[in-house]
Amino acid sequence: ALPVSNEVPAAVGGPVALTLHDEPTATREYLQSRLGAADLAIWDARGPLEYSGEKVLAAKGGHIPGAINFEWTAGMDPARNLRIRSDMPQILAQLGISKDKEVITHCQTHHRSGFTYLVAKALGYPRVKGYAGSWGEWGNHPDTPVEI
């Protein structure tokens, strides 16, 4: 057995220098300013009923104008322990979520879209952002446009 003590050792070193980068995140204002851009793909990782507005989890139902719905678990391969599907590059390209575009992914609270963000990064997409506010912010904001 090792010796046990309640004495707190003195701190070693000093403050750690950190640099925060905001490149991986999109704010509501940023996303709103990019709506309609030819080089933008908005990946809505929510379920189809949320996307269509049939299931409303905010003040407004529907989706961000121009958003492409591909539910997050549809990108998982159950036969390979939920790894990214091997045909994901083709699926995303067919949907219009292509590597030449800036991809902004979101869901309701940016938990499900955390996976889709990682999928795009793992597939080598050069410009990917996660919209942390997601539908919880967009669908409750009075000045955001919505499509149904």
Marked catalytic residue, from 64, 67, 103, 107: 107
Residue by residue, DSSP assigns 58-123 as SSS-SB-TT-EE--GGGGEEGGGTTEEPTTHHHHHHHHT--TTSEEEEE-SSSSHHHHHHHHHHHT
Spell out the long-range contacts of 87-96 with Cβ–Cβ below 8 A and sequence spacing 24 or more: 88/119, 88/123, 89/123, 92/120, 92/123, 95/68, 95/70, 96/41, 96/68
120 is annotated as an active-site residue: no
- Residues annotated as part of the active site: 107
